[in-house]
Amino acid sequence: MKDLHSRFRDVRNYTDAIFRPLAVEDYIPQPAEFVSPPKWNLGHTTWFFETFILQPYDRKYKVFNENYPFLFNSYYNNAGSRILRSRRGDLTRPTVAEVYEYRKYIDEAMRNFILNDPGKEITALIELGLQHEQQHQELFWTDLKYTLGLNPLFPAYNGKIPFKEITEQKEMKFISMEKGIYDIGFEGNGFCYDNELGKHKVYLHNFAIAERPVTNAEYLEFIEGGGYGDFNLWHDEGWKWVNENEISAPLYWYKIDGKWMNHTLKGLKPVVPGEAVKHISFYEAFAFAEWKGMRLPTEFEWEAASDRLGWGKRWEWTQSAYLPYPGFRKAPGAVGEYNGKFMVNQMVLRGGSVATSPGHSRKTYRNFFHPDERWQFTGIRLAK
Protein backbone atom coordinates (compact mmCIF):
# COMPACT_ATOMS: atom_id res chain seq x y z
CA MET A 1 0.00 0.00 0.00
CA LYS A 2 3.01 2.28 -0.08
CA ASP A 3 2.23 3.27 -3.68
CA LEU A 4 -1.33 4.25 -2.73
CA HIS A 5 -0.09 6.20 0.25
CA SER A 6 2.47 8.01 -1.92
CA ARG A 7 -0.27 8.95 -4.36
CA PHE A 8 -2.51 10.12 -1.52
CA ARG A 9 0.32 12.23 -0.11
CA ASP A 10 1.22 13.70 -3.51
CA VAL A 11 -2.36 14.75 -4.32
CA ARG A 12 -2.90 16.28 -0.90
CA ASN A 13 0.46 18.08 -1.02
CA TYR A 14 -0.40 19.50 -4.46
CA THR A 15 -3.56 21.00 -2.98
CA ASP A 16 -1.62 22.48 -0.08
CA ALA A 17 0.95 23.99 -2.44
CA ILE A 18 -1.64 25.93 -4.42
CA PHE A 19 -3.60 27.10 -1.37
CA ARG A 20 -0.76 28.17 0.95
CA PRO A 21 0.19 31.41 -0.90
CA LEU A 22 -3.25 32.88 -0.20
CA ALA A 23 -3.79 35.59 2.36
CA VAL A 24 -6.31 34.68 5.06
CA GLU A 25 -8.80 37.12 3.51
CA ASP A 26 -8.67 35.19 0.21
CA TYR A 27 -10.05 31.99 1.75
CA ILE A 28 -13.59 33.20 2.48
CA PRO A 29 -15.32 35.24 -0.31
CA GLN A 30 -17.99 33.64 -2.49
CA PRO A 31 -18.97 36.19 -5.17
CA ALA A 32 -21.43 33.85 -6.95
CA GLU A 33 -23.32 30.69 -6.05
CA PHE A 34 -21.30 28.57 -8.50
CA VAL A 35 -17.99 29.73 -6.98
CA SER A 36 -16.87 27.98 -3.80
CA PRO A 37 -14.49 29.71 -1.36
CA PRO A 38 -11.01 28.18 -0.94
CA LYS A 39 -11.70 27.41 2.72
CA TRP A 40 -14.81 25.44 1.81
CA ASN A 41 -12.93 23.54 -0.92
CA LEU A 42 -10.28 22.56 1.64
CA GLY A 43 -12.93 21.36 4.06
CA HIS A 44 -15.02 19.57 1.43
CA THR A 45 -12.15 17.55 -0.05
CA THR A 46 -11.22 16.50 3.49
CA TRP A 47 -14.83 15.67 4.41
CA PHE A 48 -14.97 13.33 1.41
CA PHE A 49 -12.34 10.99 2.88
CA GLU A 50 -13.83 11.20 6.37
CA THR A 51 -17.38 10.44 5.18
CA PHE A 52 -16.81 7.79 2.54
CA ILE A 53 -13.67 6.05 3.84
CA LEU A 54 -12.86 6.57 7.50
CA GLN A 55 -16.29 6.58 9.13
CA PRO A 56 -17.67 3.46 7.43
CA TYR A 57 -14.47 1.39 7.26
CA ASP A 58 -12.08 2.42 10.07
CA ARG A 59 -13.36 1.13 13.41
CA LYS A 60 -10.81 3.17 15.33
CA TYR A 61 -11.71 6.48 13.70
CA LYS A 62 -13.27 9.27 15.78
CA VAL A 63 -15.05 12.13 14.01
CA PHE A 64 -13.05 15.35 14.13
CA ASN A 65 -16.03 17.67 14.57
CA GLU A 66 -19.66 16.55 14.43
CA ASN A 67 -20.72 19.86 12.82
CA TYR A 68 -18.38 19.64 9.85
CA PRO A 69 -20.45 17.20 7.76
CA PHE A 70 -23.26 19.79 7.61
CA LEU A 71 -20.80 22.51 6.57
CA PHE A 72 -18.74 20.60 3.99
CA ASN A 73 -21.19 18.23 2.28
CA SER A 74 -21.76 19.52 -1.26
CA TYR A 75 -24.71 17.80 -2.95
CA TYR A 76 -24.82 14.26 -1.52
CA ASN A 77 -28.38 13.84 -0.24
CA ASN A 78 -27.58 10.32 0.94
CA ALA A 79 -24.86 11.76 3.20
CA GLY A 80 -27.23 14.03 5.13
CA SER A 81 -28.29 17.66 5.29
CA ARG A 82 -25.97 20.51 4.34
CA ILE A 83 -25.58 24.25 4.27
CA LEU A 84 -27.02 25.99 1.21
CA ARG A 85 -24.53 26.24 -1.63
CA SER A 86 -25.00 30.00 -1.78
CA ARG A 87 -24.03 30.36 1.91
CA ARG A 88 -20.59 28.73 1.80
CA GLY A 89 -18.91 32.14 1.81
CA ASP A 90 -20.73 33.17 5.00
CA LEU A 91 -18.64 30.83 7.13
CA THR A 92 -16.23 32.89 9.22
CA ARG A 93 -16.08 29.82 11.47
CA PRO A 94 -14.42 27.39 11.43
CA THR A 95 -11.32 29.48 10.93
CA VAL A 96 -8.81 28.79 8.18
CA ALA A 97 -6.41 27.45 10.79
CA GLU A 98 -9.08 25.09 12.12
CA VAL A 99 -9.80 23.74 8.64
CA TYR A 100 -6.10 23.04 8.18
CA GLU A 101 -6.13 21.21 11.53
CA TYR A 102 -9.05 19.15 10.22
CA ARG A 103 -7.10 18.40 7.07
CA LYS A 104 -4.03 17.34 9.07
CA TYR A 105 -6.15 15.09 11.29
CA ILE A 106 -7.74 13.31 8.32
CA ASP A 107 -4.40 12.96 6.51
CA GLU A 108 -2.89 11.17 9.49
CA ALA A 109 -5.92 8.92 9.88
CA MET A 110 -5.85 8.09 6.16
CA ARG A 111 -2.13 7.37 6.29
CA ASN A 112 -2.62 4.76 9.01
CA PHE A 113 -5.68 3.33 7.30
CA ILE A 114 -3.95 2.94 3.92
CA LEU A 115 -0.84 1.35 5.38
CA ASN A 116 -3.04 -1.35 6.98
CA ASP A 117 -4.07 -2.56 3.49
CA PRO A 118 -7.73 -1.54 3.04
CA GLY A 119 -8.44 -4.03 0.24
CA LYS A 120 -9.36 -3.67 -3.42
CA GLU A 121 -12.90 -2.30 -3.06
CA ILE A 122 -11.98 0.40 -0.56
CA THR A 123 -8.83 1.23 -2.51
CA ALA A 124 -11.10 2.04 -5.46
CA LEU A 125 -13.08 4.42 -3.22
CA ILE A 126 -9.85 6.10 -2.08
CA GLU A 127 -8.87 6.57 -5.72
CA LEU A 128 -12.28 8.14 -6.37
CA GLY A 129 -11.57 10.54 -3.51
CA LEU A 130 -8.21 11.47 -5.01
CA GLN A 131 -9.74 12.05 -8.43
CA HIS A 132 -12.43 14.14 -6.73
CA GLU A 133 -9.75 16.24 -5.05
CA GLN A 134 -8.00 16.77 -8.39
CA GLN A 135 -11.27 18.10 -9.79
CA HIS A 136 -11.36 20.57 -6.92
CA GLN A 137 -7.77 21.60 -7.57
CA GLU A 138 -8.82 22.84 -11.00
CA LEU A 139 -11.94 24.41 -9.49
CA PHE A 140 -9.69 26.24 -7.04
CA TRP A 141 -7.91 28.03 -9.87
CA THR A 142 -11.11 28.97 -11.66
CA ASP A 143 -13.02 29.93 -8.51
CA LEU A 144 -10.13 32.06 -7.26
CA LYS A 145 -9.74 33.71 -10.66
CA TYR A 146 -13.42 34.63 -10.65
CA THR A 147 -13.15 36.08 -7.15
CA LEU A 148 -10.02 38.12 -7.93
CA GLY A 149 -11.50 39.16 -11.28
CA LEU A 150 -14.35 41.00 -9.55
CA ASN A 151 -11.88 43.10 -7.58
CA PRO A 152 -11.35 46.46 -9.34
CA LEU A 153 -7.65 46.28 -8.42
CA PHE A 154 -7.27 43.02 -10.43
CA PRO A 155 -5.00 41.47 -7.79
CA ALA A 156 -2.68 38.62 -8.72
CA TYR A 157 -2.24 35.20 -7.18
CA ASN A 158 1.01 35.43 -5.24
CA GLY A 159 2.24 31.86 -5.59
CA LYS A 160 3.78 29.87 -8.40
CA ILE A 161 1.30 28.77 -11.06
CA PRO A 162 2.17 25.18 -12.10
CA PHE A 163 0.92 25.56 -15.67
CA LYS A 164 1.45 27.98 -18.52
CA GLU A 165 -0.26 28.96 -21.73
CA ILE A 166 1.07 27.87 -25.11
CA THR A 167 0.58 30.08 -28.15
CA GLU A 168 -0.56 28.62 -31.46
CA GLN A 169 1.75 29.40 -34.37
CA LYS A 170 0.25 27.23 -37.09
CA GLU A 171 -2.73 27.94 -39.28
CA MET A 172 -5.91 26.05 -38.62
CA LYS A 173 -5.96 22.78 -40.53
CA PHE A 174 -8.64 20.12 -40.55
CA ILE A 175 -8.34 16.37 -40.16
CA SER A 176 -10.66 14.30 -42.33
CA MET A 177 -12.39 11.38 -40.63
CA GLU A 178 -13.99 8.60 -42.66
CA LYS A 179 -17.54 7.48 -42.09
CA GLY A 180 -17.87 4.26 -40.20
CA ILE A 181 -18.39 2.62 -36.84
CA TYR A 182 -16.27 3.79 -33.91
CA ASP A 183 -15.83 2.54 -30.35
CA ILE A 184 -16.72 5.12 -27.69
CA GLY A 185 -16.17 4.96 -23.95
CA PHE A 186 -13.62 3.70 -21.45
CA GLU A 187 -12.41 0.13 -21.34
CA GLY A 188 -9.39 -1.43 -19.71
CA ASN A 189 -7.27 -0.81 -16.62
CA GLY A 190 -6.95 2.44 -14.75
CA PHE A 191 -9.43 4.89 -13.30
CA CYS A 192 -12.48 6.32 -15.00
CA TYR A 193 -15.76 7.81 -13.83
CA ASP A 194 -18.97 5.82 -14.17
CA ASN A 195 -20.25 8.16 -16.91
CA GLU A 196 -17.40 6.97 -19.18
CA LEU A 197 -18.30 3.29 -18.84
CA GLY A 198 -20.36 1.25 -21.24
CA LYS A 199 -18.05 1.12 -24.23
CA HIS A 200 -20.28 1.07 -27.27
CA LYS A 201 -20.27 1.57 -31.01
CA VAL A 202 -21.52 4.65 -32.84
CA TYR A 203 -21.86 5.28 -36.55
CA LEU A 204 -20.35 8.57 -37.74
CA HIS A 205 -20.71 10.17 -41.15
CA ASN A 206 -17.72 11.74 -42.92
CA PHE A 207 -16.54 14.80 -41.04
CA ALA A 208 -13.54 17.05 -40.58
CA ILE A 209 -12.28 18.44 -37.29
CA ALA A 210 -9.76 21.19 -36.55
CA GLU A 211 -6.31 20.13 -35.39
CA ARG A 212 -6.22 22.87 -32.76
CA PRO A 213 -8.64 25.06 -30.80
CA VAL A 214 -9.73 28.57 -31.82
CA THR A 215 -7.35 31.37 -30.81
CA ASN A 216 -7.94 34.79 -29.28
CA ALA A 217 -7.05 36.40 -32.60
CA GLU A 218 -9.65 34.35 -34.44
CA TYR A 219 -12.27 35.09 -31.83
CA LEU A 220 -11.45 38.79 -31.95
CA GLU A 221 -12.42 38.74 -35.62
CA PHE A 222 -15.83 37.44 -34.54
CA ILE A 223 -16.20 40.29 -32.04
CA GLU A 224 -15.11 42.98 -34.48
CA GLY A 225 -17.23 41.42 -37.22
CA GLY A 226 -20.37 42.04 -35.20
CA GLY A 227 -20.89 38.49 -33.99
CA TYR A 228 -22.44 39.53 -30.70
CA GLY A 229 -24.96 41.71 -32.54
CA ASP A 230 -26.25 39.26 -35.13
CA PHE A 231 -29.20 37.26 -33.82
CA ASN A 232 -29.01 34.91 -36.80
CA LEU A 233 -25.92 33.27 -35.28
CA TRP A 234 -27.40 32.45 -31.91
CA HIS A 235 -29.78 29.96 -30.37
CA ASP A 236 -32.86 31.79 -29.15
CA GLU A 237 -31.87 31.02 -25.58
CA GLY A 238 -28.33 32.20 -26.27
CA TRP A 239 -29.54 35.44 -27.83
CA LYS A 240 -31.63 36.10 -24.74
CA TRP A 241 -28.58 35.42 -22.54
CA VAL A 242 -26.41 37.83 -24.57
CA ASN A 243 -28.91 40.66 -24.31
CA GLU A 244 -30.03 40.20 -20.73
CA ASN A 245 -26.43 40.03 -19.50
CA GLU A 246 -24.97 42.57 -21.98
CA ILE A 247 -22.34 40.08 -23.18
CA SER A 248 -19.94 41.42 -25.81
CA ALA A 249 -16.67 39.51 -25.22
CA PRO A 250 -15.30 36.48 -23.36
CA LEU A 251 -15.35 36.59 -19.58
CA TYR A 252 -12.52 38.77 -18.16
CA TRP A 253 -11.96 40.71 -21.43
CA TYR A 254 -11.90 44.52 -21.20
CA LYS A 255 -11.21 47.10 -23.87
CA ILE A 256 -9.05 49.78 -22.24
CA ASP A 257 -7.79 52.78 -24.23
CA GLY A 258 -8.57 50.94 -27.44
CA LYS A 259 -6.62 47.81 -26.46
CA TRP A 260 -8.04 44.45 -25.42
CA MET A 261 -6.92 43.34 -21.96
CA ASN A 262 -7.88 40.33 -19.89
CA HIS A 263 -7.73 39.42 -16.24
CA THR A 264 -5.36 36.53 -15.55
CA LEU A 265 -4.20 34.82 -12.37
CA LYS A 266 -1.25 37.21 -12.51
CA GLY A 267 -3.41 40.31 -12.89
CA LEU A 268 -4.56 42.37 -15.86
CA LYS A 269 -2.58 41.56 -19.03
CA PRO A 270 -2.91 42.24 -22.78
CA VAL A 271 -4.84 39.59 -24.69
CA VAL A 272 -2.30 37.30 -26.40
CA PRO A 273 -3.48 36.69 -30.01
CA GLY A 274 -2.01 33.20 -30.32
CA GLU A 275 -3.42 31.72 -27.13
CA ALA A 276 -6.49 29.50 -27.34
CA VAL A 277 -9.54 31.55 -26.43
CA LYS A 278 -11.00 30.64 -23.03
CA HIS A 279 -13.88 31.42 -20.69
CA ILE A 280 -16.39 30.90 -23.49
CA SER A 281 -19.96 29.69 -22.97
CA PHE A 282 -21.57 27.03 -25.14
CA TYR A 283 -23.79 29.78 -26.57
CA GLU A 284 -20.71 31.73 -27.70
CA ALA A 285 -18.97 28.63 -29.05
CA PHE A 286 -22.04 27.77 -31.11
CA ALA A 287 -22.41 31.33 -32.45
CA PHE A 288 -18.74 31.50 -33.42
CA ALA A 289 -19.02 28.21 -35.31
CA GLU A 290 -22.12 29.51 -37.09
CA TRP A 291 -20.24 32.69 -38.02
CA LYS A 292 -17.45 30.57 -39.52
CA GLY A 293 -19.97 28.50 -41.48
CA MET A 294 -19.05 25.42 -39.45
CA ARG A 295 -20.22 23.67 -36.28
CA LEU A 296 -19.03 22.15 -33.04
CA PRO A 297 -18.09 18.45 -33.04
CA THR A 298 -20.21 15.91 -31.21
CA GLU A 299 -18.51 14.26 -28.27
CA PHE A 300 -18.36 11.04 -30.30
CA GLU A 301 -16.62 12.75 -33.21
CA TRP A 302 -14.21 14.36 -30.75
CA GLU A 303 -13.30 11.05 -29.12
CA ALA A 304 -12.99 9.23 -32.43
CA ALA A 305 -10.49 11.84 -33.67
CA SER A 306 -8.77 12.51 -30.33
CA ASP A 307 -5.58 10.54 -31.04
CA ARG A 308 -4.91 12.87 -33.98
CA LEU A 309 -5.69 16.13 -32.16
CA GLY A 310 -3.67 18.47 -30.02
CA TRP A 311 -5.90 18.62 -26.94
CA GLY A 312 -5.52 19.54 -23.29
CA LYS A 313 -5.37 23.35 -23.49
CA ARG A 314 -9.09 23.97 -22.98
CA TRP A 315 -12.22 22.12 -22.05
CA GLU A 316 -13.83 22.06 -25.48
CA TRP A 317 -17.57 22.42 -25.90
CA THR A 318 -19.21 19.73 -27.98
CA GLN A 319 -22.60 19.60 -29.66
CA SER A 320 -23.66 16.73 -27.39
CA ALA A 321 -26.07 16.87 -24.50
CA TYR A 322 -24.87 15.15 -21.33
CA LEU A 323 -26.73 11.85 -21.40
CA PRO A 324 -26.02 8.31 -20.12
CA TYR A 325 -24.21 5.78 -22.24
CA PRO A 326 -26.00 2.49 -23.04
CA GLY A 327 -26.20 0.34 -19.93
CA PHE A 328 -25.33 3.16 -17.51
CA ARG A 329 -26.24 2.33 -13.92
CA LYS A 330 -25.88 4.57 -10.91
CA ALA A 331 -24.01 3.08 -7.99
CA PRO A 332 -26.08 2.69 -4.80
CA GLY A 333 -25.91 5.35 -2.12
CA ALA A 334 -24.10 8.67 -2.12
CA VAL A 335 -21.40 7.60 -4.60
CA GLY A 336 -24.15 7.14 -7.18
CA GLU A 337 -24.94 10.85 -6.91
CA TYR A 338 -21.56 11.77 -8.36
CA ASN A 339 -22.58 11.98 -12.03
CA GLY A 340 -25.91 10.40 -12.86
CA LYS A 341 -28.26 12.94 -11.33
CA PHE A 342 -26.75 15.75 -13.41
CA MET A 343 -27.65 14.21 -16.77
CA VAL A 344 -30.13 16.93 -17.77
CA ASN A 345 -29.82 20.42 -19.30
CA GLN A 346 -26.02 20.26 -19.58
CA MET A 347 -23.58 19.99 -22.47
CA VAL A 348 -20.50 17.76 -22.69
CA LEU A 349 -16.97 19.17 -22.84
CA ARG A 350 -13.91 17.15 -23.75
CA GLY A 351 -10.15 17.48 -23.52
CA GLY A 352 -9.06 18.94 -20.19
CA SER A 353 -7.32 22.28 -19.77
CA VAL A 354 -3.96 23.71 -18.79
CA ALA A 355 -5.38 24.03 -15.28
CA THR A 356 -6.36 20.35 -15.08
CA SER A 357 -4.21 18.58 -12.52
CA PRO A 358 -1.39 16.29 -13.75
CA GLY A 359 -2.59 12.80 -14.61
CA HIS A 360 -6.26 13.77 -14.51
CA SER A 361 -6.93 13.89 -18.28
CA ARG A 362 -7.92 11.15 -20.71
CA LYS A 363 -9.68 11.09 -24.04
CA THR A 364 -12.83 9.43 -22.64
CA TYR A 365 -13.30 12.01 -19.84
CA ARG A 366 -16.78 13.59 -20.01
CA ASN A 367 -16.98 16.99 -18.34
CA PHE A 368 -20.32 18.81 -18.29
CA PHE A 369 -21.66 22.29 -17.64
CA HIS A 370 -24.75 24.35 -18.28
CA PRO A 371 -24.53 26.20 -21.62
CA ASP A 372 -24.22 29.67 -20.05
CA GLU A 373 -21.31 28.81 -17.73
CA ARG A 374 -17.87 30.08 -18.66
CA TRP A 375 -15.75 30.56 -15.53
CA GLN A 376 -13.92 27.32 -16.36
CA PHE A 377 -11.11 27.20 -18.95
CA THR A 378 -13.60 26.47 -21.72
CA GLY A 379 -12.84 26.94 -25.43
CA ILE A 380 -13.80 26.03 -28.99
CA ARG A 381 -12.81 23.44 -31.56
CA LEU A 382 -14.48 23.58 -34.96
CA ALA A 383 -15.85 20.77 -37.11
CA LYS A 384 -17.47 20.59 -40.52
Distance CA 89, CA 28 (A): 5
pLDDT confidence of residue 53: 97
pLDDT confidence of residue 2: 61
> Cα dist. 94→42, 99, 268, 318 in Å?
12, 7, 33, 40
Q: How many CB atoms lie within 10 A of CB 293?
A: 8
Under a CB-based contact definition with an 8 Å cutoff, are residues 50 and 106 in contact? yes
CA 201, 206, 209 angle in degrees (round to 5)?
95
Distance CA 201, CA 183 (A): 5
* Residues of the chain below pLDDT 50: none
Instruction: Tell me: cis bond preceding 37? Omega within 30 of 0 counts.
Output: no
Q: Burial level of 27, CB count in 10 A (0-12/13-18/19+)?
A: buried
Return all residues near 145 (Cβ < 8 A) that are at least 6 apart.
252, 263, 264, 265, 375
CA 317, 212, 306 angle in degrees (round to 5)?
70
Task: Name the DSSP class of 172.
Answer: P
Which amino acid is residue 372, in one-letter code?
D
pLDDT confidence of residue 196: 97
Distance CA 279, CA 262 (A): 11
pLDDT confidence of residue 336: 86
